[in-house]
Structure 1
Amino acid sequence: MSREIDYGNLMHDAMRGLIRNVLLDVAAHGLPGNHHFFITFDTAHPDAELADWLSDRYPGEMTVVMQHWYDNLEVTEEGFSVTLNFGDAPEPLYIPYDAIRTFVDPSVEFGLRFEQQEGEEEDADAPTPALLQEHEDELEVEEETPKDAEIVSLDSFRK
């Protein structure tokens, strides 16, 4: 009986642990310096929790920005919850790590992308992680004074 090392799942677990550790630090100490996060996640993931109007508006995926204002950040082994402000309406979200498709910190040009393997369905097991290397410099965000979360499409940053 032959055995193989499942590098894809091992990488997925490592990257999920990295995101968890970053969020634990932010929960304990706040966002340092210019750090901020673009987090794209699967809104149809069975364990994701978001307001009906958000899942109706973004039935496949949504990108949120943690930057100027966020509240109630709680980090667990499986995911995290946070309250973000959508047009002066605070909304709680729960995002399982398995639902995350991209995690980007443009302040230091760091990003992770979890891609579906070819031939897999949308809700298949763990996606394949990959470091985001292209166009990090295009992910810079203008500093704004409003304390609202933003929903952006990362496609707008691609050439």
Structure 2
Amino acid sequence: MSDRFHYGQLMHKALQGVMSEVLQSVAENGLPGEHHFFITFDTHHPGVDIAPYLKERYPEEMTIVIQHWFADLTVLQDRFSITLNFADMPEVLVVPFDAIKTFVDPSAEFGLRFDAHENDDDEDEENDVDEAEDAEETDGSGDVVSLDHFRKH
């Protein structure tokens, strides 16, 4: 057992939980009102499964929009899958939550940003504190507010 809490990792996991819960609600009930999502993810992250032509077209990262047409949204503990339409061709995408870089709902002026995340228990204490900067959310004005603003220096 570690002799300290890994607050950054806990925050990262909690914010992924928010995203997972929202996606699960959409899977069960559809998108309410004007809600829609822009999700950017790392296309070469382990566990990402997209069509080869999409991986070739988006070799680093890809942003998907969940709004008007989507099907078969399935949310698991560590990932989600969804069918989206690309040039009138339905494609299944599988995206692990750890591959996601940003999750934005413009209708609610809400967004999360996840930077590179390490799960190494040997990280020094400073890196653990910096993990809190990995996720950001909007303050209702449409501006992204870094959680770093709330850290004690």
TM-score by length of 1: 0.75
Partner of 1:130 in structure 2? Answer: 135
The residue number in structure 2 matching 1:16 is 16
CA-CA distance at 1:2 after TM superposition:
7.2
Structure 1 residue aligned with 2:42: 42
Unaligned runs of 5+ in 2: 121-129, 144-153
Moved over 3 A (4+): 124-128
State how 1:50-89 maps to structure 2 within 5 Å: 50-89=50-89
Cα 1:46–1:115 shift into 2, 3 Å: same
Partner deviation per Cα, 1:103-124 (whole Å, 9 max, x = no partner): 000001000000137xxxxxx5
Partner secondary structure for residue 115 of structure 1: coil
Separation in structure 2 between the aligned mates of residue 132 and residue 57 of structure 1, nearest angstrom: 29
- Distance, in Å, in 2 between the alignment partners of 1:72 and 1:17 is 20
- Deviation, 1:4, is 1.6
- Identify, as 1 or 2, the structure richer in helix: 2
Q: Deviations over 1:43-74 (max 9, x none)?
A: 00110000000111111100000000000101
> In the alignment, which residue of structure 2 is the partner of 1:106?
106
Letter in 2 for 1:24: Q
Q: Quickly say closer, same or farther: Cα 1:16–1:2, change in 2 above 3 A.
A: closer
Quote the offset at 1:80 in angstroms.
Answer: 0.4
Structure 1, gaps ≥5 residues long: 118-123, 139-159
Match of 1:155 in 2: none
- SS class of match (1:91): strand
- Percent pairwise identity: 53
Q: CA RMSD in A?
A: 2.3
Normalized against structure 2, the TM-score is what?
0.78
Corresponding pairs, count:
131
Distance in 1, matches of 2:16 and 2:2, equals: 28
**5 Å matches for 1:138-153?**
none
Larger Rg: 2
